């Protein structure tokens, strides 16, 4: 398949999806998310594909959702709540396609996986990270919250609250210790390890793999995962479309000096901590 923002490759029964906006640290814009949905639809319909490996081009898995404003990415403070709800729901629905895909998805976390991308990693079935990976949800520091809220189900309430209340990031080893990812490997062995795991899956009954994925997902859903998404969506609509001093300052710096300066302002306030 020919995409602009996503590389789609297939080798026998393994499909490779690579987020391909390296100049933007693979930030997920509307076009990339559309292409990801198209690719997942194709994968679901192809009986020859049995497992997917998802990674990012360049030095990042993904920096999260693209916050460069434009027609497809409006400023939430300038958007009606109903319109913003649909905007966020599009992000959630894309991630849930991975959750509901009948084939396992392995996240090959090759670098930064921040904000929405941290949630993208967690919604995958198996997560293997390079020793260079950094994960977390720093978007809270600019007054924006996570749309999916899967982190409490991955790492437990105590650590989820710490991460989501501080915006701290963690390295790959800490993410593995917490259960956010499965394991850490040397950077140059990341794809080899992901492919080794994928080949194991291809040698197991496809029906058995599908049923196992459904069973584990249903267990988490029985703990309230789906209802928490619904409740969190309404909270995020209210939070994102409300004006806070942090959001106002971030937006003011972005308007005057650009996005890079705004991100620098966001992070500089925490360097002494």
Query: Who contacts 80 (Cβ-Cβ below 8 Å, separation ≥6)?
Result: 241
Tell me the pLDDT of the chain (273 aa) as tens digits.
789 999 999 999 999 999 999 999 999 999 999 999 999 999 999 999 999 999 999 999 999 999 877 666 677 666 788 888 998 999 999 999 999 999 999 999 999 999 999 999 999 999 999 999 999 999 888 777 888 899 999 999 999 999 999 999 999 999 999 999 999 999 999 999 999 999 999 999 999 999 999 999 999 999 999 999 999 999 888 877 877 777 778 878 878 888 788 878 888 888 877
**253 found inside a domain:** no
DSSP 8-class letter at 28: B
Which of 35, 137, 139, 174 does the annotation list as catalytic? Answer: 139
Angstrom distance (rounded) from CA 258 to CA 264 = 10
Condensed to tens digits (0 to 9), the pLDDT of residues 212-259 reads 999 999 999 999 999 999 999 998 888 778 777 777 788 788 788 887
**265 found inside a domain:** no
Which of 119, 137, 174, 193 does the annotation list as catalytic? Answer: 119
**122 found inside a domain:** yes
- Per the CB < 8 A criterion, the answer to whether 98 and 37 are in contact is no
| Active site annotation includes 119 | yes
**1 found inside a domain:** no
**223 found inside a domain:** yes
| Active site annotation includes 35 | no
Angstrom distance (rounded) from CA 245 to CA 127 = 36
Strand pairing partners for 18?
7, 55
**268 found inside a domain:** no
Residue 105, domain extent? 6-192+202-242
Angstrom distance (rounded) from CA 81 to CA 84 = 5
* Token couple for 66: 């693209």
**161 found inside a domain:** yes
* Token couple for 167: 């915006």
- Give the model's pLDDT for residue 83: 86
Domains: count for the chain? 1
CATH number of the domain encompassing residue 82: 3.90.226.10
Angstrom distance (rounded) from CA 223 to CA 245 = 36
- Per the CB < 8 A criterion, the answer to whether 49 and 43 are in contact is yes
């Amino acid at each position: 398949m020919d995409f602009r923002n996503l590389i789609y490759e297939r080798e026998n029964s393994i499909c490779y999806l690579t987020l391909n906006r390296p100049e933007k640290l693979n930030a997920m814009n509307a076009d990339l998310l559309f292409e990801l949905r198209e690719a997942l639809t194709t994968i679901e319909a192809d009986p020859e594909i049995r497992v997917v490996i998802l990674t990012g081009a360049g030095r990042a898995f993904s920096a999260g959702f693209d916050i460069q404003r434009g027609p497809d990415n409006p400023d939430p403070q300038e958007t009606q709540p109903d319109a913003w709800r649909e905007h966020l729901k599009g992000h959630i629905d894309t991630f849930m396609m991975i959750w509901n895909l009948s084939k396992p998805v392995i996240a090959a976390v090759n670098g930064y996986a921040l904000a929405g991308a941290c949630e993208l990693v967690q919604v995958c079935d198996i997560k293997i990270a390079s020793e260079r990976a950094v994960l977390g949800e720093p978007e809270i520091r600019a007054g924006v919250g996570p749309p999916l809220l899967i982190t409490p189900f991955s790492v437990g309430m105590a650590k989820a609250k710490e991460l989501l209340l501080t915006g701290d990031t963690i390295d790959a080893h800490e993410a593995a210790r917490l259960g956010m990812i499965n394991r850490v490997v040397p950077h140059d062995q990341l794809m080899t390890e992901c492919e080794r795991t994928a080949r194991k899956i291809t040698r197991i009954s496809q029906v058995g793999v599908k049923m196992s994925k459904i069973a584990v997902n249903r267990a988490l859903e029985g703990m309230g995962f789906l209802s928490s998404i619904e409740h969190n969506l309404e909270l995020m609509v209210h939070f994102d479309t409300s004006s806070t001093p942090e959001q106002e300052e971030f937006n003011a710096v972005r308007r005057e000096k650009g996005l890079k300066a705004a991100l620098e302002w966001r992070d500089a306030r925490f360097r002494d901590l």
